Chains A and B, each alone.
Chain A
Amino acid sequence: MRDQNRMPIMEALQEVRSSRVLPFDVPGHKQGKGNRELTEFLGEQCLSVDVNSMKPLDNLCHPTSVIREAEILAAEAFRAHQAFFMVGGTTSSVQSMVFAACKEGEKIILPRNVHRSAINALIIGGAVPVYVNPQVDDRLGIALGMDPVELEQVIRQNPDAKAILVNNPTYYGICSDLKRIVALAHEQDMLVLVDEAHGTHFYFSDELPLAAMDGGADMAAVSMHKSGGSLTQSSFLLTGERVNADYVRQIINLSQTTSGSYLLMASLDIARKNMAIHGKEIFREVIALAQYARREINAISGYYAYAKELINGGSVFDFDITKLSVNTLDTGLAGIEVYDILRDEYGIQIEFGDLGNILAYLSVGDREPDVERLVTALADLQRRYKKERTGLLDHEYISPVVAAGPKQAFFGKKQSLPIEETEGRICSEFVMLYPPGIPILAPGERITREILDYIRYAREKGCLVTGPEDMGISRLNVLV
């Protein structure tokens, strides 16, 4: 085990900064001197290390020195075979996993509630989705995890699939039985890819659900910038022993920038060190704060802050107790309404609100008085705005009917129709509800009455609907 206190990229940047080498290379702001306003806004310290790849700083596309060392340290910290520094967000990590596992026309098994980035990977790479129907918790209106029983059946029906993608944990904190899923997949020689965007902290606590690499997964996309504390858009892609890491690097290099930001890379390096050294105590505090907030919120009528009691051995195998997910339906308010009121009236920004739930993101940066504010605001809001529980949908999940491959549908010959006339047609674009960024329609799927009603309803409730070419969402593109 190497010394996790080391931060090779940061150390190299400090060297470069103090060496005062005369820069006749990009970036053109020349360590900030060429853009005074930017330097004043972000700070000289920051601009002076926004530099290009150079001899002492290694090269992200072909790392052999400091980036390589940092990768090895990260791999050890995450108990992975190999770790890649990613600067295109966890979106790029998820897509690289999919491209590395499935070629055009090959099948990939995935739950419907995957992130948009995964389905985008299918449009670009041409893999064909086989969806595992996630069960829905009727009371909460959320999609749950991947039930191994359900998965087993899908694997039996699609023995030719190359990989299984699992999102673990979900945005709401629901975890699947990774060990079972890995066992089922490996029996059929399928790879297991884990979208672990919301689970970075699993690697640094023994009070939390199993992390992907510990569960034997073959690849994992880890959003270090979420719970790990690095800069937005920085991420890790982890691989296990069964995967050819050099091939994965080639895949990453197909689309990743050749001017990788050293600000992002250094932030990953520093955040990795912090997690490896202090993660355990940090997340012990976050867990305590989340548990406290849950108790207090559950004492207010109308809210249900859920956690481990949801565990059922199948679709909910475990729960990430750092997540503060709260169902709001018994207050008579949609989650998105609570989200809006908190921001507009109480000056509190939470992570998201969907039809029935809100998620407040707790992290290393939170303190108890902040949590007291959030809880008190929820109490006050409930007193002032509560309504009868009526007219709220019980179901959030609509099972998709895949009628064509996403790539074929997206790039195929299409026509634009008023949305109300599209029933029964095959959609050639995405319709996303944001938050939480899970598609209600993906390219290649049949449009049903239920889906159209749901879109209208979600819009009335204030959800942002995005994806279609027509940004007003009055028309949809369908296959001719």
Chain B
Amino acid sequence: MELWFTESHTKGGRFSIQVDRHLFSGNSEHQRIDVFESETYGRFLALDGRMRLTERDEFIYHEMLVHVPMAVHPKPEKVLVIGAGDGGALRELAKYEEIKEMDLVEIDQMVVDVCREYLPGTASGLEDPRLKITCQNGLKAIRGMEGEYDVILIDSTDPFGPGEGLFTKEFYGSCYNALREGGIMVNQHESPFYEEDSRMIQTAHKRILEIFPEVKLYQAHIPTYPSGYWLFGFASKGLHPVDDLRDQAWQEKGIQTRYYNTRLHRGAFALPNYVEELLKDVE
């Protein structure tokens, strides 16, 4: 028997993972949720048929989402994560003792429940005592907030389906407003490689630029995401992602990582020419 999970990465390009067992399938109010077991990538979670994370490479995504802003912000005490029901981002955040409060806003309770049952490696982050989980629409959760957070992480799905609202100007504007002075917002920014996705990157980049004074993109290599090459957005109320990087302070914390280090942090902001051009078009 050969069972394969296949996802279209672009028109005419597909990515497949051989599946050993289908562990879970269910429809929540918002989306279809599936968990598969595979030999090559371990267990993996798919939302509406789009691969969301695999046990094998999720560390790259989550470390890059979390440690980049955390190594820049001088005193991150209150952090908000939007849309990370799998818990991976929270597992990384939990490594910081200086964080006093963590809020997670995930629209879909079923994602949280399913990850707790089937993906303990990431869901371990959901059990930290500093964490408060709210199951709610991300836009609704933050639209009235003023100066609440030091860091906001947007761990959204793709910009269609339930994650759509998290790529809008109204959302970024609300994030700006919910950040304290010196606050940082980091969002997963999709892949620039395929044309249909690169347009979305331009739109999102333009919207963030209109709101935040300091905006830079950085990259990571994530094998199971479309094209294997991924961008993150760093937007702040003033801190520069490289000039204000606190190398030594971060290293002294002794945080264990498998992908992130502060040398890579600097390099991650050096983008390929084609990406720079893409961004320049809207800057």
Q: Do A and B bind each other?
A: yes
Chain A: residues with CB nearer than 8 A to chain B? 296, 299-300, 345-347, 368-369, 372-373, 375-377, 379-381, 383-384
Pairwise interchain contact B165-A375, C-beta atoms closer than 8 A:
no
Pairwise interchain contact A373-B173, C-beta atoms closer than 8 A:
no
Cα–Cα distance between A372 and B171 once the two chains are bound (Å)? 10
A326 to chain B, nearest CB (A): 15
* Chain B neighbourhood of A346, CB < 8 A: 168-170
Pairwise interchain contact B137-A347, C-beta atoms closer than 8 A:
no
Contact mask B145-165 → A, CB, 8 Å, 1/0? Answer: 000000000000000001011
* Chain B neighbourhood of A384, CB < 8 A: 173
* Chain A neighbourhood of B177, CB < 8 A: 380, 383
Cα–Cα distance between A456 and B140 once the two chains are bound (Å)? 39
Which residue on A lies nearest to B172, using beta carbons? Answer: A380
Check: B17 CB closer than 8 A to any chain A CB: no
* Chain B neighbourhood of A300, CB < 8 A: 144
* Chain B neighbourhood of A373, CB < 8 A: 139, 164-165, 168, 170
Pairwise interchain contact B162-A376, C-beta atoms closer than 8 A:
no
Q: A299-B144, A369-B137 are in contact. Are A376 and B170 (CB under 8 A)?
A: yes
Chain B: residues with CB nearer than 8 A to chain A? 137, 139-140, 143-144, 162, 164-165, 168-171, 173-174, 177, 210
**Chain A binding surface SS class:** helix
Question: Looking at the complex, which one of A299, A345, A372, A381 makes contact with B137 (CB distance below 8 Å)?
Answer: A372
Q: A299-B144, A346-B169 are in contact. Are A376 and B174 (CB under 8 A)?
A: yes
A358 to chain B, nearest CB (A): 15
Pairwise interchain contact B170-A379, C-beta atoms closer than 8 A:
yes
Pairwise interchain contact A345-B169, C-beta atoms closer than 8 A:
yes
* Chain B neighbourhood of A299, CB < 8 A: 144
Cα–Cα distance between A377 and B143 once the two chains are bound (Å)? 9
A412 to chain B, nearest CB (A): 52
10 tightest CB-CB pairs across the interface, nearest first?
A380-B173, A377-B170, A376-B170, A376-B139, A372-B139, A376-B143, A380-B170, A372-B137, A379-B143, A372-B140
Cα–Cα distance between A380 and B170 once the two chains are bound (Å)? 6
* Chain A neighbourhood of B164, CB < 8 A: 369, 373
* Chain A neighbourhood of B165, CB < 8 A: 369, 372-373, 376
Cα–Cα distance between A291 and B174 once the two chains are bound (Å)? 23
Question: Looking at the complex, which one of A345, A347, A369, A375 makes contact with B143 (CB distance below 8 Å)?
Answer: A375
Which residue on B lies nearest to A383, using beta carbons? Answer: B177
Q: A372-B139, A373-B165, A383-B177 are in contact. List 6 more A-B contacts (CB 8 A).
A: A300-B144, A346-B168, A346-B170, A368-B137, A380-B143, A380-B177
Which residue on B lies nearest to A369, using beta carbons? Answer: B165
* Chain A neighbourhood of B162, CB < 8 A: 369
